[in-house]
Chains A and B, each alone.
Chain A
Amino acid sequence: MRSSHRLALLFLLPSLIFVSLFAFYPIFESFRLSFYRSILTLPWLGQKMVGWENYTDLWTDPVAAESLRTTLFFVVTTIPLELSFGLGMALVMNEVFRGRGLLRAVILIPWAIPTVVSSQMWRFIFNDRYGLFNFLLFGGDASRYLAPLADPTLAPLAIIVAEVWKTAPFVALIVLAGLQSIPDEVYEAASIDGATSWQQFRYVTLPLLRPALLLALLFRTIDALRVFDLVYVMTQGGPADATNVLSFYGYKKIFAEGMVGYGSAIAVGVFLISLILSLVYLRILKSSRLEGIPR
């Protein structure tokens, strides 16, 4: 017994080392640095412990507040869209028809393309002179062309469109897995009881999909809170800071400005927000598992 324990530990060791090296250590290091004033370009200032100063600065920083608002707006707009489109796609992919395999592959393409590439593509689509977006809206009438990426109201929406296009397939994938785990008998029973297909969807499919949807919600919320690459390629945070999401703001502080302490405080802030939200979701997920599912 004991030796098998030891063996188990031995097998676990590599992943433990891996996780602590690549997950715990950086998190711990970010926490530590966030209590220091550390500016790479001014080494003679030294690394000075400043307690909560970075956090009090962050709390009163109007750029950070604006950035938080931008990020939250991004989260609350993209997620309902991704979930509804993802659900719709999953329902279609779940039906049996000719060419289903092809359709499944096509739907997953946006998810498979590296974000940097697809953001570049969206940047071209939203170009103010030769972009597809303007052509679809106004045809050849160049005098009415819009410049979405140059407009503080439209630029965040352009990023949202790109994000939804990219990640709805991911939600579809999770929901599809959920759909396939619903046994056919439940539908049979429902139709014997005379339920219409809408009623079947509303009272059978949706409740049984709850865990899958919550899981998708969890993944997407954490991911959306950390959105970075779309902004990096499409707008670099502009115009007028309208797309300056928290991760990009933190990135600029650390990597461009060398303000390691302050940037770490921003990173810790993003981490804490995601952590709290994840814990809330996990709790809901757990209780929903215990409630509904027929076993």
Chain B
Amino acid sequence: MNSLVVKAGRCHARNLCRLTALIFLCSLGHSFAAETQLRFVTWKSETAQLWDQPIADFEKQNPGVKVIREIGPQSSTQLHDLITQKLKNRDTEMDVFVMDVIWPAEFASAGWALPLDRFFALAEQKQFLDAPIQANRYRGQIFGVPLFVDAGLLYYRKDLLEKYGVPPPRTWPELVEEAKTILAQEKDPQLVGFSGQFKQYEGLVCNMMEFVLSNGGNLWNEKQLVSTLNQPRALEAVRFVRDRIIGQIAHRGVLAYEEPESLVLFTEGRAIFHRNWPYAWNVANDSQRSKIAGKIGMMPLPYFPGGKGVAALGGWQLAISRFSKKSELAWRFVAFMTGHAMQKRITLSTGRAPARAALYNDREVLDQLPQLKSLWETFKQAVPRPTTPVYVPLSNIMQRYFSSVLALPDTNIDKRAALAARDMDRVLDLVREAPAP
């Protein structure tokens, strides 16, 4: 009995040896193959024109290079967790990754993103829109190359506004009054006046920032590093959203909405006004996906009397990991993806707003995407969320504050704002003596 076990064991061991040898040989063969891999971490695109085709072209131009595309979550917050996890672990596998417009300062300060100054000359930087370039700078160095630009916009139902003879609103109070007028006369229980993104997540900060800044307020003072959420203009804007919009012209359900849910409400024809990014234009005008194709208008966001309209800057950049061992090749890929020819092709095939300024004057692009003309001004003036390595903790404090005062109508805004400001000041104190990276 015993010897049988031993025999079986020996036999097993021999097989194991063979297997190991085989694996070893295979891996040898693998490393001999003249193929360099480049790992690119990004979100999933709805069309093949975005990642698949450009990557195939890049591989054709660079024989022997294979780009491995790793798909992460669509949500910026969740993608942030995935990418920072790799960077924290000094993962040498990941070479290139997409970066949301709010990440560069954090990734630069942490030493995760490679400074690109030696590749990305100043003259070349000037070819891009200025706001996203500024968002990619941290303490004199540049850490990403803009790929797409986003900015908050107001969409509206042109047909309904015309039906009741109201002009597109210039100010927020006008928007509320117009929505009320139309709602009162349409008498449709399914229809709401406004839909935006008010869930407790990053999008809430974008939406609320647009209200606060268009009333002359601010989130925090970037020079003095103190929160300004508890100052009168900021408080006034927040109070307006709570008392005149949420539960009034917008139903309380928006407090759980991110972009997709709020857009569906609009494309179903159930919202008069809608705040979203530029991609919503194509979706809302696609009669396959939208009941209101051809019946909509798009314009810069309104402002408060005495203020001026502010669009939050969004968008995506390409960055290179500091732990990548192939930074030269990685740069070749980044330059290829953000080059003029590829940007034009991606713009034409996906309708996403490009980061290169010249494309906004390109005849071929404008013929196909006339809306880019009107987006140009908005993009040029779009305001980035303040750049700081402690953006995420600050954003979490602001999300908590905004969500609390909007979802709990009886809370004392002044008191909540004072608490939030105190918490923000504590976080901002941490970066007072930040050295250059």
Contacts and interface: CB of A to CB of B under 8 A. Distances in A.
Contacts of B403: 238-241
B84 interface: yes
Contacts of A255: 81, 84-85
A45 B264 CA distance: 45
Interface stretch (A35-43, A104-112, A178-186, A191-199): A35-43
Contact of A256 (B80, B270, B435): B80
A252 B81 CA distance: 9
Given A150-B407, A237-B200, A256-B77, A44 B256 contact: no
Contact of B390 (A42, A62, A147): A42
Given A41-B110, A147-B256, A236 B200 contact: yes
Contacts, number: 110
A237 B77 CA distance: 13
Given A150-B256, A236-B201, A241 B84 contact: no
Interface residues of A, number: 34
B75 to A, nearest CB: 9
Contacts of B253: 128-129, 145, 147, 150
Interface stretch (B35-43, B216-224, B295-303, B392-400): B392-400
B231 interface: no
B407 A152 contact: yes
Contact of B404 (A39, A128, A236, A241): A241
A63 B399 CA distance: 13
Nearest to B411: A240
Nearest to A237: B200
Nearest to B108: A41
Interface string A240-284: 111000000000100111110000000000000000000000000
A9 B39 CA distance: 44
B189 interface: yes
Contacts of B111: 43
A50 interface: no
Contacts of B257: 150
A103 interface: no
A225 B154 CA distance: 43
Interface in B184-231: 189-190, 199-201
List 5 tightest A-B contacts by C-beta distance, closest first. Answer: A238-B200, A147-B253, A128-B253, A150-B255, A143-B189
Interface of A: 39-45, 62-63, 127-129, 142-143, 145, 147, 149-152, 235-242, 252, 255-259
8 contacts: A41-B109, A41-B390, A42-B434, A128-B256, A150-B255, A152-B407, A236-B77, A258-B392
Given A41-B110, A240-B400, 14 more contacts: A40-B110, A41-B390, A44-B109, A62-B419, A147-B252, A150-B252, A151-B252, A152-B408, A238-B256, A239-B256, A242-B407, A252-B396, A256-B396, A259-B393
